[in-house]
Structure 1
Amino acid sequence: MRKTAAVLEFCEEFLLAGSIAVTFAVLVLQVFSRYVFDLPLTWTEELARYLFVWSVFVGASQAMRYGEHIAIGMLIDRLPKPLAKIIALWMNALMALFLLVLIVKGADLAFKVAELPSTALEISMAFVFAPLPLAAAAMLLRTLCISIRILVAGPEPIQHRSL
């Protein structure tokens, strides 16, 4: 289980760092080609946009890994531990149900648009829609792991951090 989680985390970090780095490089190339050579490249904006979509969805999964999504823990923190455990498990069950819908509908959409080419890059539009079901699947795995941890030790208090 831990080995699977480590592989998932490595893949997510690699995808996130890679998509951000390539996005930056593509945007620098766009600015350079436009202002130095006065020859804007048409495909750079589209690639940057698609990579940004990947960054958002993979980043959402990473945020779940670190417990950075918006949460209001005031109620859970004040309840008796058995009741807090039940409510936390129900919240995770609802999250899992939502993520299952995202996986099914997102995969369905990605398969439907797989034959459509993008405008400038002429790659399959499945590339654009694939991060939704993939990130939802990663978040579902995290939700299941969190639920097991809640069953064993109870809910963890919400960490109050700010930028």
Structure 2
Amino acid sequence: MNKLITAMNKVLSLFCISLSSVLVLSVSWQVFSRYVLNSPSTFTDEVSRFLFIWVGLMGAAYTMGQKRHLAIDLLPMKLEKSPLKLNNLNIIINLFSVSFAFIIMIYGGGNLMLKTLATGQVSPALGIEMGLVYAAIPLSGLFMVVYIIRDLLELVSQRQNLAS
């Protein structure tokens, strides 16, 4: 499992860096062509929008894997004095998270992607299938599920140590 997580971390970080770099170039070209050349580029708006979607969703998955997501930790802070209760709370939170990622992102996002691919909807400027843009949703959800399962396995292992 550790090898899979290490590989996912490396791939996701490089992928997000690459997408972000292309996004910056695309936006820079758009600004340059609009204000300097007085001839705005026709495709950079769409490229930037689609890259932003992918960077956001893949970045969210990567951030979840690094355990750096934004969280309101009021209840966990109250339970710090009781490690077993804190562990139980974290297990419950992760069960909700894996349910959300699986049902909404993988199942719902996968259905959206497949339906969009089936209708043949294409983007106006680039002419790419919109289902490929929407593929970021189930793919990000899949990465999240793997990270959450890793976290759940760690928490269950910790719980056994705390209970004994």
Q: Percent identity?
A: 27
RMSD: 1.6
Structure 1 unmatched ranges of 5 or more: 155-163
Distance in 1 (CA, whole Å) between partners of 2:48 and 2:150 is: 33
- Spell out the pairing of 1:3-82 with structure 2 (5 A cutoff): 3-79=3-79, 80-82=82-84
Deviations 1:68-90 (A, max 9, x none): 22323343344322222222212
Distance of aligned partners of 1:35 and 1:84 in 2 relative to their CA distance in 1, 3 Å threshold? closer
State the match for 1:112 in structure 2. 115
How many residue pairs end up in the alignment? 154
SS at match of 2:107: helix
Q: Shift of residue 92 of structure 1?
A: 0.9
TM-score scaled by structure 2? 0.86
Q: Shift of residue 121 of structure 1?
A: 0.4
Distance in 2 (CA, whole Å) between partners of 1:23 and 1:150 is: 37
Structure 2 unmatched ranges of 5 or more: 160-164
Runs of 4+ in 1 over 6 A off after TM superposition: none
SS at match of 1:42: coil
Distance in 2 (CA, whole Å) between partners of 1:22 and 1:10 is: 18
State the match for 2:149 in structure 1. 144
State the match for 1:153 in structure 2. 158
Distance in 1 (CA, whole Å) between partners of 2:48 and 2:74 is: 39
- The residue identity in structure 1 corresponding to 2:115 is K
SS at match of 2:128: coil
State the match for 1:103 in structure 2. 106
The counterpart of 2:85, out of the listed 83, 86, 91, is 83
Distance in 2 (CA, whole Å) between partners of 1:61 and 1:145 is: 13
Task: Give the number of the structure whose residues are more often helix, by fraction.
Answer: 2
Distance in 1 (CA, whole Å) between partners of 2:41 and 2:72 is: 45
TM-score scaled by structure 1? 0.86
